[in-house]
Amino acid sequence: MKAWQVVRKGPPSKALELRDVAIPEPRAGQLRVRVATTVCNLNEVDGCYGRYRTVDPPLPYTLGMEAVGVVDAVGEGAEIWLGQRVMMTGAGATGAHAEYVVGDQAMAFECPDRFDDHSAAAFYFPFHVAYVSLVERGGLKAGETVLVHGGAGGVGSAAVQLAKALGARVIATAGSPAKVEFCRSMGADIAINYSTGDWADEVAQATENRGVDVACDLVGGEVTTETMRVMAYGGRLMLTGFSGGIEAEDEAGLLPRSIIFGNISVAGVLLAYGDPNAFGLAGIHLVPRERGEQIHTHLLELHNTARIRPVVHDVTSYTELPAALERMERRETMGRSVIQWTAQSD
């Protein structure tokens, strides 16, 4: 089968080669999907450069986190999925940019017929990440104020929509007039262009110096430190992404004093479903699969009632994946970039 493999470190156009490799076989608890669509994730760009510690297998490996398609083979214990159309993450968050991908059933979800392959691809991961950040870990309640950094991105645009759909007042930040306008079209009550002024001052003004109850921080680094300034009493600052530089994930930054004196909580977000205790006390806890199913059901309801919608920025043939990833790296995309592997399903 054809698969985009990371064969060396560098920008996507240098790091990736489209190779013929063996079709993977599912092991116990796994599914194999014949891939219809995949999507570009910013962390895949990090993967090409070799700076993404979370997903860093030996080279060469097949890049790609999420796929949509029909299950054509299953391992023991996963028989129920055979023939179903799913949205799924590849095993170890790799392998998706290929004609076939294998993934754990804990990371597979039903894909209702009303989703075409493009919108299904744009729906799954962004809305699940946003939900785990805002609701599961952030405890968002209707009437609260939410701040979303990186509001025009794939995950960011989902977080803006979801927060609004759940009854929050939403403030989003983005880096250009077009992205600010896009955040508004996603439902942001206030959208701030951080490149033309002090966004924290604008948040303070917009909240009459009260601050925000939940911050979905998708940028990290100095932006996280600055966000401490604009948290309300009892606020929850959710460390959800590091678009500003993935290295910040491993750097010291937040002072205990600012957490203590702010009377706020700082919490982490990892979207991976399974047994929370699968890794014992090795410092990794998965979100329970049962919660994943409840989250998926709630998200499908919100989609079915037109309160949230997946945003497809563009659709690119699989042959042009490196160019699509580089458009993302240049920050030219809003919402999700979808990669087409087979003819579009009806």
CA gyration radius, the chain: 19
Of the pair 72, 189, the CB lying nearest ligand NAP is at 189
In the complex, least distance from residue 270 CB atom to ligand NAP, rounded to whole angstroms:
5
In the complex, least distance from residue 312 CB atom to ligand NAP, rounded to whole angstroms:
12
Structure token digits, residue 304? 């079915």
The reply on whether position 218 binds ligand NAP by CB under 6 A is yes
Which of 5, 38, 41, 224 forms a contact with ligand NAP (CB under 6 A)? 41
Which of 140, 174, 287, 302 forms a contact with ligand NAP (CB under 6 A)? 174
Which of 31, 159, 269, 299 forms a contact with ligand NAP (CB under 6 A)? 269
Structure token digits, residue 197? 């002024």
Output the CA torsion 313→190→306→312 (10° steps): 0
Which of 15, 33, 42, 286 forms a contact with ligand NAP (CB under 6 A)? 42
Nearest residue relative to ligand NAP (C-beta): 153
In the complex, least distance from residue 232 CB atom to ligand NAP, rounded to whole angstroms:
23
Of the pair 15, 129, the CB lying nearest ligand NAP is at 129
Q: For residue 155, is it left (φ>0), alpha (ψ between -120 and 50) or beta?
A: alpha
- Residues between 140 and 159 with contacts to ligand NAP, criterion CB under 6 A: 150, 152-156
Q: Which residues bind ligand NAP (CB under 6 A)?
A: 41-43, 125, 129, 150, 152-156, 174-175, 179, 218-219, 240-244, 269-271, 328, 331, 333
